[in-house]
Amino acid sequence: MTSLFEEIGADPGEQVPVRRVSISVNGRRRTADIEPRLLLAHLLRQGLKLTGTHTGCDTTNCGACTVLFDGKPVKSCTMLAVQADGHEVTTVEGLGGSAGGLHPLQEGFKDEHGLQCGFCTPGMMLAAKALLDENPDPTEDEVRWALSGNLCRCTGYQNIVKAVLWAADRQRANGGAG
């Protein structure tokens, strides 16, 4: 087990309270000394350099910062990092396939042209993963509902929905393997 000790966002000349947290991120235990006000999105991006988690609005609107928190999608700009202490977080960097290749969702977004600029894509894929983990055979409406908290300014959503349905088909063909 490796540890990361960093003071993130703390002014070294200022006496600020810090709290030690230990979070499993993409299957690896990470430990950090952080200010209680630090957002989970900022811990991931600035502290752990997992910049696949994007921040588009910081106000819970866009979903670009979506990660999985104990398997459920959360907007990491709306959670304090201390709330993740003792929990499991999955970012897009942890999404790769079991054999080191692409996850079916990543393949689906590629094959079905589910992205243009790609800014929304990590959050879209993690929201979709949470859906497919619970419901391996979703309808188009169920996919649209699951992604309704994630905004895309480029694609018009059609190909994103197709990408998720493509991934669902592929996962079922693979016997459920991600």
> Minimum CB separation from ligand FES for residue 66, in Å?
7
Rounded distance between C-alpha atoms, residue 107 and residue 60, angstroms: 27
Taking CB under 6 A as the binding criterion, the range among 23-31, 58-66, 101-109, 134-142 that sits at the site for ligand FES is 58-66
Runs of H (alpha helix) within the chain: 40-42, 104-111, 121-134, 140-146, 158-173
* 119 near ligand FES (CB under 6 A): yes
CB-nearer residue toward ligand FES: 20 or 72: 72
Q: Looking at 8, 44, 50, 77, which residue binds ligand FES (CB under 6 A)?
A: 77
Report which of 159, 111, 164, 162 is spatially closest to residue 136, judged by C-alpha positions: 164
* 110 near ligand FES (CB under 6 A): no
Residue 21 and residue 36 in contact, taking contact as beta carbons nearer than 8 Å:
no
End-to-end CA distance of the chain: 25
Taking CB under 6 A as the binding criterion, the range among 19-27, 93-101, 112-120, 166-174 that sits at the site for ligand FES is 112-120
> Minimum CB separation from ligand FES for residue 134, in Å?
21
Q: Are strands 19-25 and 66-69 parallel, antiparallel or unpaired?
A: unpaired
Taking CB under 6 A as the binding criterion, the range among 10-18, 20-28, 95-103, 109-117 that sits at the site for ligand FES is 109-117
> Minimum CB separation from ligand FES for residue 20, in Å?
25
Taking CB under 6 A as the binding criterion, the range among 54-62, 83-91, 92-100, 163-171 that sits at the site for ligand FES is 54-62
Q: Are strands 72-75 and 66-69 parallel, antiparallel or unpaired?
A: antiparallel
Report which of 20, 127, 156, 15 is spatially closest to residue 84, judged by C-alpha positions: 20
> Minimum CB separation from ligand FES for residue 149, in Å?
8
How many residues at the interface with ligand FES, by CB under 6 A?
22
* 155 near ligand FES (CB under 6 A): yes
Q: Looking at 34, 89, 115, 131, which residue binds ligand FES (CB under 6 A)?
A: 115
**Phi first, then psi: what are they for 14, rounded to 5°?**
-110, 140
Report which of 138, 135, 157, 136 is spatially closest to residue 148, judged by C-alpha positions: 157
